[in-house]
Structure 1
C-alpha cells in the first residue's frame, strides 16, 4: 500500500486502529482506487508506513481476507480480489442498496406478464381465486456486470406496473411511490449451483455457486404485496447480519 491511498489513522478515535485500517482499505477497493489484482506491501512494511504494530496490521489484514476482499497467495503476497456487494439484511430493495453505496445499477426485463395467479402465488400473497398478478423476471447488473437474476410476483390491486418502469426503477421504489408502506417480510437465504439458464445470463459457469433469496413482503395494511425468488453470483455478493444475545 502506498501513500496515494491517503489512509489516515486517528489515534484519538474510540474506533480500534485495526478497524480504521480495514475501513480505509475497504473504501479504496469499493471506490476503484485499488483494483482487483492490486498487490499490497507485506504486513511489516504496511505497519511501518502507518506507524502501527505488526499484530494490529495482521488483525486488519486477516479481517479483510475473511471478508473476501483480499487473498493471500504463496509466492505472490496479498492481493485485492473482486469487490463483493455486501448487503445488510434489511427490508430494502437491491436497487436501493446498490444506489446508496454509489454503484450504478441497471436492469433488463427478461419476461413480463399480467396473469391470473396460480395456486402457489395465491397462497403466498393471500389472494382470492381468480386474482391477477404481475409476474416478471429481471437481470440486474451493477456497473455493467451481471449480479442478480430476479423473479417476482406482485398483486395488481395496488398500482399499474409496466416493463418500462421496471427497467428504470427498483420494484420497491415503484410500490412506495404508489403508497405502499412496507412493514415486514418473511425471508430465507440459501445456496444453489447455476443451471443452464442462469449461468449465461449471470456470465458464470454452469455449476458455479449462487446465493438465493426468497422473500414475501407485507405492508402496514397487512397485505402481502409481493413475493420473489432471486439468485445472485456468490463470488460478488453476500448478506450481512447483526446477531443480538437475548
Structure 2
C-alpha cells in the first residue's frame, strides 16, 4: 500500500460494548498509527467513505477523527482528505537509550550530530560525573528524529577516555549501545523529569514555535562498580513524546 492510496486496515467495532463507537474507532486508529500500520502521509479517505466501509454514522467517524486531529496524529487537507501526520512516541521509564526504544517500536530512528568534542566540565556536569569542575569531558549533542521528524534534542557528557565515539558511529546507533560495546556495564541511573518552554534555538531545532512546552530530563547513569559514566540533559517535544511508567500498589 503506498502513502497515496486510501488506507486498508481492518477495524473491529463492537456494538454490544458500553464503550462509545467513536472511541473504539479512535483508539484503533491511534494504535495502528503507533504500531506503524498507518505511516505518516497515509490517507484515510473521507468521512463518508470510512463511515460506509465500517457501517458507522458520519458523525461517529467525524468525532473519532477529530479526537486524533486534536492529538496531532491526523490532519484534514482540503481536496486530499484525512491524512496521518505522525505518531506519538511513548517511552518506558527504564535504563535504555531513546534510539533502541524507537527501533523496538518500529519508529525508524535517525540522528543528526550537532557536536562531538572535548570541553571543560560545567559545574552541573562535574557534580554529576564526580570530576573536578573544568576537567575535560566529552560533550555530545544530537538531534533525534523519527520518520524524518525531530522529537528530541540530546546533550550527553562522558568522562574522558571512557569512550571516544565518532559522528558516524553516533549517527548509526545509540550511545548506550556504543558504551556497552566498549565494555561498560550499565547498571542503574538517577533521573529527574520536568517541563519548560522552548527557547528560540531549541524551537528551531525541534520545529516547534518559540515558547512551546518541552519535556526535560536529566539522567546520571552508573556502571556496575557505582561509577558515574554518563550525564544527559535532554529535551523532548511534548506534542510528540510521553513517558510511561508502571506503579505498584504496596499491600
Give yes or no for TM over 0.5: yes
Gaps of 5+ in 1: 11-15, 51-56
Partner of 1:176: 180
What is the correspondence of 1:55-134 to structure 2 with a 5 Å cutoff?
68=71, 82-128=86-132, 131-134=135-138
Partner of 1:230: 234
Q: Which residue, 180, 185, 191 being the options, matches 2:189? A: 185
- Establish whether residue 4 from structure 1 lines up as the match of residue 4 from structure 2: no
Q: TM-score normalised to the size of structure 1?
A: 0.74
Gaps of 5+ in 2: 1-5, 77-81
Q: 1:179 to 1:20 in 2, by over 3 A?
A: farther
Q: 1:87 to 1:214 in 2, by over 3 A?
A: same
Partner of 1:151: 155
2-side partners of 1:225 and 1:20: how far apart? 45
3-state secondary structure, aligned to 2:200: coil
Partner of 2:243: 239
3-state secondary structure, aligned to 2:126: helix
Q: 1:145 to 1:80 in 2, by over 3 A?
A: closer
2-side partners of 1:110 and 1:124: how far apart? 22
Partner of 1:13: none
CA drift at 1:8:
5.5
Partner of 1:196: 200
Q: TM-score normalised to the size of structure 2?
A: 0.73
Partner of 2:38: 33
Q: 1:3 to 1:209 in 2, by over 3 A?
A: closer
1-side partners of 2:73 and 2:205: how far apart? 27
